[in-house]
Amino acid sequence: MPHPRTRPPDNHVHTRWSWDTSDSSTMRRACERAVAQGLPAIAFTEHLDFTVWDPDDRATDEGLVERHASRHAEIDAEGYFAELAEVRDRFPELRIWSGVETGEPHLFATSVAAYLRTAPVDRILGSLHSLSQDGRLYGVGHLLWQDADGTMRRYLGELVDMIETSDVFDVLAHVDFPRRYWPGGTHKYVEKSFEEEYRAVFRALADTGRALEVNTTSPLASVDQVRWFHEEGGEAVSFGSDAHQPAAVGQQFDLAVDVVEAAGFRPGRDRFDFWRR
């Protein structure tokens, strides 16, 4: 059965090679789902996070010594690339990109660079999942319960710093990640209250020419939010399911396309490209 509309690539997918994803989440199953959804391409962007880092990393300069309650683990690069080769052979109709999701890349530039020298990839996402406090990195969900609005403003300010001081990533992932854990439920989050801070992030991102991700695991971005990016000069939008299980690959992409089109972006140069203004 033909698909009713052209769908964009899913540029943000996790499999068993990410520390927070189950062994049943294989590349093969994710690719089967992508083909069934009519996606032209998929990027396997596994978590690249650090609990031990290089002494030359900025995290060291800032006095950070550990992550709080960390389950973070290294990527098994050999296993990852072996499975990637298998699915590229098995699914010739699907473009399959390698990738990583770099957590706090501005704090771990030397460590990120060392990994990428030995395991270069096609797609690099930049993410902020944690903020520092008293020498530790804490997941933002932990900090929200202390001061939700203050943490959100600090988070968006840290994103500006991350964009301005790290050039390793080409897509900014889930710009309002803390919203997933908002006290009392995501419906209590008032996006408009943070418009000024969002716009500062979007100006910084637009100045670099990099893409903004519309993440469909997070509460879906509003047309207003994506339009703020457009108004601040944003050039490109990436779609990412942030799937941690195969069934979530390409989830809500039709709705996300509606949002992105309403904000002024259109399909790019070809079906594998970002969407552009």
1 domain-assigned: no
CB 5 within 8 A of CB 59: no
Query: pTM above 0.85?
Result: yes
CB 189 within 8 A of CB 227: no
CATH number of domain containing 135: 3.20.20.140
106 domain-assigned: yes
4 domain-assigned: no
85 domain-assigned: yes
CA-CA-CA-CA torsion sign (43, 269, 103, 257): negative
- Give dist(CA 256, CA 81) in Å, integer: 30
2 domain-assigned: no
- Give dist(CA 29, CA 34) in Å, integer: 9
5 domain-assigned: no
Confidence of residue 1 (pLDDT cuts 50, 70, 90): very low
230-243 average pLDDT score: 98
Domain count, the chain: 1
More confident site: 2 or 141? 141
CB 246 within 8 A of CB 33: yes
- Give dist(CA 162, CA 12) in Å, integer: 19
* 56-102 per-position pLDDT tens digit: 999 999 999 999 988 999 999 999 999 999 999 999 999 999 999 99
What's the pLDDT at 256?
Answer: 98
- Give dist(CA 144, CA 146) in Å, integer: 5
Q: What pairing do the DSSP bridges indicate for beta strands 41-48 and 10-13?
A: parallel
Query: Looking at the predicted structure, is the pLDDT value of residue 4 above 70?
Result: no
Task: Give the bridge partners for 125, in sequence order.
Answer: 101, 171
3 domain-assigned: no
Query: Looking at the predicted structure, is the pLDDT value of residue 249 above 90?
Result: yes
Domain that holds residue 164: 10-276
- Give dist(CA 121, CA 98) in Å, integer: 5
8-state DSSP, 82? H
154-170 average pLDDT score: 98
* 193-234 per-position pLDDT tens digit: 999 999 999 999 999 999 999 999 999 999 999 999 999 999
Query: Looking at the predicted structure, is the pLDDT value of residue 109 above 70?
Result: yes
Instruction: Kindly list the distances between the CA atom of residue 175 and the CA atoms of 45, 64, 77, 129, 275, in Å, as whole numbers in the listed order.
Output: 17, 24, 27, 10, 17
> In 3-state terms, what secondary structure has residue 131?
strand
Q: Which of 228, 255, 262 is nearest to 239 (CA)?
A: 255
Query: Looking at the predicted structure, is the pLDDT value of residue 2 above 60?
Result: no
> Can you give the C-alpha Rg of the chain in angstroms?
18
What's the pLDDT at 69?
Answer: 87
8-state DSSP, 243? B
